[in-house]
Structure 1
Amino acid sequence: MMVVPHGTKINSILITAPSWVGDAVMATPAFRCVRENFPKAKISLLLRPFVKGVLEGAPWFDEWIEFDQKEKHKQPGKYLALIRKLRKEQFDLGIILPNSLSSALVAWLAGIKRRVGYNRDARSWLLTNGVERSKEKGKFQPTYMADYYLRLCASTGCEIRSRELELFTSRENLEKVDKLFSKYRVSRNKPIFLINPGASFGSSKGWTVEGFARTAELLHKELDCHVLLATAPEERGIATQIEKAAGGKILNLTPEHVTLDLLKALIKKASMLITVDSGPRHIAVAFKKPVVVLMGPTDPRYTHTSQEVGRVIRERVDCAPCHLKECPKDHRCMEWIKPEKVVEACKELMVEVASTQPPSKAANVATSRR
């Protein structure tokens, strides 16, 4: 049954954003879809504070409401104050993108008339309109997350006009990147490889310090290029280790306090991103930037999209995908990935991208050292 019958007046909508950066990026088609189908409604976005940076600049929301479940709103008084605020809004429709029980509980406590989300994690009683996950041979079917979120929109009667990821950058952050390039003498006439090694999901997604360092060395050896390194401020430790191991073959931008909104601009300005299966990968997809992804413990079906201009490097191991945050064994799914394979993927992708660009732009895409 359609959640919102034809002709029903919807004045206000609360969308609960996913809790992880990559998932939030993959939710942008759903955000856009809701705005396109309810152009006159007031749309509020409930989100975790650290996710806000990746969505800043998006034109689909009238109000941004931060929900800091691990810090501020962990206090009962603050939590109840948030619930009171949401109840005052008298939302007609709530679209709950995360799968958690806690996200559905907030919508229920807020008294939202129609609450749409997936029936899972024992929360169906909190939803007025629960949606079942797709199944294949009796088992839940892994689905690309952008399509997973759009299915919730479709259940409300929304017409899906586009499935493309979409992000925005400010002129201020783009100018900051230009100043960083000038400070570090990064020439736009050479390919610029940006390495982002972090994965907030857990250590199981991470690659080795030696692997990233050796990749930088090989790129410098085989191509006339720049290799930049950028991590979140709290990941300075691994950035410093990679910088030292690379022996001067990498420019570490982490001391410049690379926030999410600045990272977006860096990815947009770079020629190619090298990263693990984490949020920055999806930022690259949104900006249609080439990306080489090192994937280990996760099922690629959750993140695979034809929109991606890239290469996904995976080693076939009997224990993957496990979706564990920490590996209980020898981390072979990531340890077995060789830097030579990563560099080869980069070179192949550069040639592929160059073949689709005008000669004036392609000239600087791939320049081999002789």
Structure 2
Amino acid sequence: MSEPLFVSQKDFPAELKKIQKILVIGPAWIGDMMMAQTLFKLLKLRNPQVQIDVLASGWTRQLLACMPEVADVIDMPLGHGKFGLGERRALGKSLADKGYDQAIVLPNSFKSAFIPFFANTPLRTGWRGEMRYGLLNDVRALNKKRYPLMVQRYAALALPKEAEPLTEFPYPELHVDQSQRPQLLTKFALQLDRPLLILCPGAEYGPAKRWPEHYFAEVVDEKIRAGWQVWLMGSAKDRQVTDVIRNLLLDDERVHCHNLAGSTSLGEAIELMACADAVLSNDSGLMHIAAALQKPLAVIYGSTSPEHTPPLSKQVSIISKEIECAPCFERECPKVHHKCLRELMPQQVLQALDTLVSSPAVIFAEARG
């Protein structure tokens, strides 16, 4: 279900509505890129004829292909964290002939603002970040209390500098071509003969965001006994985690548990996730993808908080534990006890999933210990 629009074209000044070509310097993380779609939607609202091109890492290209607002994806040749001033200058100069009217820089790093500067883009918009005066000429000063959500910060860059923060905004919404589904199911020897729960038990950020593997295995055991099947999804880095989960199951249960981590491309993962009847995830990039596919979604939060990067969907159950040291936003638990995750029990997660899939209504629920 598409979200209603909470601003209209009349809310934009004439000079912004006239902009025809925009270059967006995209974020490196999949979850952040997913939230950037709200910005793309607002830019299309500002001018329905605008062309939006996104400069992004190659691994996000298949994600952007599912966003109808994006006209073209330009591969970022530099790896994450590499400065490469000469390469940035050359890329910027090569883009100068494209005639962008505006560049919107989503990362806060100093280096990320060089490419539109060298492309001589007349309007260069972004948050001040690492003191980017000169590189940007439409510089915004970020008040984190005024813009608590990452998606609000992205959305604000479509609006005039003096505009009030949006408290409601269009949600990301991925478009998947289902005509390829039969071939994809055949490729991975999958069937849709049982209700499908997809598990995303990894977290690129670090172990402080990962619910314990044996807890995930208890959920899988319960759902398979109830007649479901389970697909484990993630990157190659998550394969060790998903192997542990599957190996904790009984032999007759493993038949209904398929480990796809590291085996799919991102585009294939998106198409397969579109098959799900429900998704259970840590706070991760795949979590944001499941939300954008409008799937009933239970999300476990440990060291991070939904107050900053929540799943943008109405069919969500957020599961977290209120303890004195959470959220700490650390990659590793500073106190080594992982209480924020270990004290979230499987039964609590199963109840959240059951509520999501049994209720006909659109749900936004919080299950807290």
Q: In the alignment, what sits opposite 1:65?
A: 74
Equivalent in 212, 220, 237 of residue 240 of structure 2: 237
**1:263-312 deviation digits (Å, cap 9, x = unpaired):** 11122111000110111212122121101101011121123367331211
Any residues of structure 2 matched to 1:189-208 within 5 Å, and which? Answer: 190-208=194-212
SS of structure 1 residue aligned to 2:158: helix
Q: Is the 8 A contact 1:298 1:321 kept in 2?
A: yes
Any residues of structure 2 matched to 1:223-262 within 5 Å, and which? Answer: 223-248=226-251, 249-250=253-254, 251-254=257-260, 257-262=263-268
Equivalent in 319, 322, 332 of residue 326 of structure 1: 332
SS of structure 2 residue aligned to 1:301: coil
Any residues of structure 2 matched to 1:287-298 within 5 Å, and which? Answer: 287-298=293-304
Over 3 Å counting, the alpha-carbon distance change for 1:115 and 1:256 in structure 2 is closer
Bigger mean CA deviation after superposition, 40-49 or 66-75 = 66-75
Corresponding position: 1:341 with 2:348: yes
TM-score between both structures, scaled by the size of structure 1: 0.83
The one-letter amino acid of 1:238's match is V
Whole-angstrom CA distance in 1 between matches of 2:310 and 2:137:
31
**1:132-154 deviation digits (Å, cap 9, x = unpaired):** 3245xxxx345233322111101
Q: In the alignment, what sits opposite 2:44?
A: 35
Q: Is the 8 A contact 1:195 1:274 kept in 2?
A: yes
Whole-angstrom CA distance in 2 between matches of 1:166 and 1:233:
26
Whole-angstrom CA distance in 1 between matches of 2:16 and 2:127:
24
**1:328-354 deviation digits (Å, cap 9, x = unpaired):** 2222222222112111211121222x4
Equivalent in 213, 217, 229 of residue 217 of structure 2: 213
Bigger mean CA deviation after superposition, 19-28 or 321-330 = 321-330
Any residues of structure 2 matched to 1:104-115 within 5 Å, and which? Answer: 104-115=113-124
Over the matched positions of the two proteins, sequence identity in percent amounts to: 25
Q: In the alignment, what sits opposite 1:48?
A: 57
Over 3 Å counting, the alpha-carbon distance change for 1:202 and 1:142 in structure 2 is farther
Q: In the alignment, what sits opposite 2:111?
A: 102
SS of structure 1 residue aligned to 2:222: helix
SS of structure 2 residue aligned to 1:285: helix
Over 3 Å counting, the alpha-carbon distance change for 1:77 and 1:128 in structure 2 is closer
The root-mean-square deviation of aligned C-alpha atoms, in Å, is: 3.1
SS of structure 1 residue aligned to 2:139: strand
Name the one with the larger helix percent: 1
SS of structure 2 residue aligned to 1:302: coil
The one-letter amino acid of 2:273's match is I
Corresponding position: 1:300 with 2:306: yes
The one-letter amino acid of 1:210's match is H
The one-letter amino acid of 1:107's match is P
SS of structure 1 residue aligned to 2:245: helix
The one-letter amino acid of 1:302's match is H
Whole-angstrom CA distance in 1 between matches of 2:350 and 2:153:
33
Q: Is the 8 A contact 1:203 1:325 kept in 2?
A: yes
Deviation at 1:81, TM superposition (A): 2.8
> Which 5+ residue runs of structure 1 have no aligned equivalent?
357-370
Q: Is the 8 A contact 1:208 1:335 kept in 2?
A: yes
Q: Is the 8 A contact 2:210 2:282 kept in 1?
A: yes
Over 3 Å counting, the alpha-carbon distance change for 1:3 and 1:111 in structure 2 is farther
Deviation at 1:36, TM superposition (A): 3.6
Q: In the alignment, what sits opposite 2:172?
A: 165
Deviation at 1:90, TM superposition (A): 4.0
Deviation at 1:171, TM superposition (A): 3.6
Q: In the alignment, what sits opposite 1:314?
A: 320
Corresponding position: 1:282 with 2:288: yes
TM-score between both structures, scaled by the size of structure 2: 0.83
Bigger mean CA deviation after superposition, 14-23 or 100-109 = 100-109
Over 3 Å counting, the alpha-carbon distance change for 1:351 and 1:6 in structure 2 is same
SS of structure 1 residue aligned to 2:70: coil
Over 3 Å counting, the alpha-carbon distance change for 1:174 and 1:107 in structure 2 is same
SS of structure 1 residue aligned to 2:91: helix
SS of structure 2 residue aligned to 1:46: strand
